[in-house]
């Protein structure tokens, strides 16, 4: 019977079981021992190791799908709970972010009311945060407004920084223009979903109406809001007759008009 040499051990029969019970060699047709590469002779420890690794990989390929199926079947309730909690966490995280942005918008509108001295100017101008919050769009409407590009035309943009901050907190993209000419150039090159304009820009005391007229004559139907120093009913009627959504000096009413136009 052929013999092979073990690692540091005396000669022993080659038919002795190899690692994990696999034979270390198999006999050829003429009875001579053959290595795993088909050559006659001794079988090395390296070859045994390679065979074991190959078998282990094959077993792994076959067993892993069955193991995964077993885990899913026997622990499906646990996985379901995990996925439910994960979804709930994601919704809560999104809700927290939206809530924080809405609080920022309320604070900014409140600051705008204070800056314009409108806290006692009548209905729609109260600085109470609860009243301001009521002017905010619903969460669903806010999502529809997110990303809308708005052109704000005012030769003194610092006067409206809080209003812009509120709108940006709600997800709007505000671009500024300080003149009628610049506004027209921007409108010809970009698409805006809303235009907000003040009224007087020297030397034109009715620059807001001038811009509105030129836009309508050019075929633009973009919603247009006059945000100036007056919300007198007569001025509101005139603005609407000229094709604007309205005219106001109230940050809260402005927010409501923007929501109505974009949501």
**% of the chain with per-residue pLDDT over 90:** 46
In a domain, 250, yes or no: yes
Residue range(s) defining the domain that contains residue 16 = 3-59
- 113 and 216 in a single domain? The answer is yes
- 121 and 169 in a single domain? The answer is yes
248, 233 in Cβ contact below 8 A? no
189, 213 in Cβ contact below 8 A? no
- 193 and 242 in a single domain? The answer is yes
Residues 6+ apart with CB under 8 A from 172: 145, 146, 147, 148, 149, 150, 258, 262
- 230 and 126 in a single domain? The answer is yes
The answer to whether the Cα torsion of 113, 221, 193, 95 is positive or negative is positive
Which of 228, 190, 192, 182 lies closest to 209, judged by CA? 228
- 149 and 240 in a single domain? The answer is yes
195, 226 in Cβ contact below 8 A? no
Work out the average pLDDT over 244-262. Answer: 95
- 256 and 129 in a single domain? The answer is yes
In a domain, 226, yes or no: yes
In a domain, 123, yes or no: yes
E strand or H helix that includes residue 109: helix 76-115
- 11 and 105 in a single domain? The answer is no
- 144 and 240 in a single domain? The answer is yes
**CATH number for position 112:** 3.40.50.2300
In a domain, 94, yes or no: no
Instruction: Report whether pLDDT(90) > 60.
Output: no
Residues 6+ apart with CB under 8 A from 204: 180, 210
245, 224 in Cβ contact below 8 A? yes
Domain boundary among the residues 59, 91, 107 is at 59
In the prediction, which pLDDT does 133 show?
A: 80
Which comes out higher in pLDDT, residue 151 or 28? 151
In the prediction, which pLDDT does 135 show?
A: 84
Kindly report, residue by residue over 209-244, the tens digit of the pLDDT.
Answer: 999 999 999 999 999 999 999 899 999 999 999 999
Work out the average pLDDT over 240-260. Answer: 95
In a domain, 240, yes or no: yes
- 251 and 198 in a single domain? The answer is yes
Kindly report, residue by residue over 123-146, the tens digit of the pLDDT.
Answer: 444 457 677 788 889 989 999 999
In a domain, 257, yes or no: yes
Instruction: Report whether pLDDT(7) > 60.
Output: no
Work out the average pLDDT over 6-10. Answer: 45
Please count the structural domains in the chain.
Answer: 2
Q: Is this structure's pTM higher than 0.75?
A: no
In the prediction, which pLDDT does 102 show?
A: 87
In a domain, 88, yes or no: no
In a domain, 44, yes or no: yes
- 132 and 249 in a single domain? The answer is yes
Three-class SS state of 230? coil
Kindly report, residue by residue over 27-69, the tens digit of the pLDDT.
Answer: 444 444 444 444 444 556 565 555 555 555 554 545 555 545 5
Chain center to CA of 82: 23
- 36 and 140 in a single domain? The answer is no
- 13 and 122 in a single domain? The answer is no
């Amino acid at each position: 019977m052929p013999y092979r040499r073990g690692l540091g051990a005396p000669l022993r029969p080659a038919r002795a079981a190899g690692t994990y019970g696999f034979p270390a060699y198999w006999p050829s047709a003429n009875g001579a021992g053959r290595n795993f590469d088909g050559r006659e002779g001794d079988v090395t420890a390296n070859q045994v190791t390679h065979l074991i690794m190959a078998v282990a990989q094959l077993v792994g390929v076959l067993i892993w799908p069955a193991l995964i199926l077993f885990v899913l079947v026997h622990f499906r309730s646990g996985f379901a709970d995990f996925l439910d909690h994960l979804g709930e966490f994601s919704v809560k995280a999104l809700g927290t972010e939206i809530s924080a942005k809405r609080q920022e918008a309320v604070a900014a509108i409140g600051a705008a009311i204070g800056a314009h001295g409108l806290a006692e100017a009548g209905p729609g101008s109260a600085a109470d945060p609860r009243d301001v919050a009521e002017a905010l769009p619903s969460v669903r409407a806010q999502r529809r407004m997110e990303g809308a590009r708005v052109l704000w035309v005012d030769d003194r943009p610092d006067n409206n920084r809080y209003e812009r901050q509120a709108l940006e907190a709600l997800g709007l993209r505000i671009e500024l223009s300080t003149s009628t000419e610049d506004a027209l150039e921007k409108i010809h090159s970009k698409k805006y979903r809303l235009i907000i304009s003040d009224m007087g820009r020297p030397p034109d005391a009715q620059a807001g109406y001038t811009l509105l007229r030129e836009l309508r004559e050019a075929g633009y139907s973009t919603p247009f809001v006059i945000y100036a120093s007056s919300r007198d009913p007569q001025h509101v009627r005139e603005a609407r007759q000229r094709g604007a959504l309205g005219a106001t000096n109230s940050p809260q009413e402005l927010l409501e008009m923007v929501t109505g136009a974009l949501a």
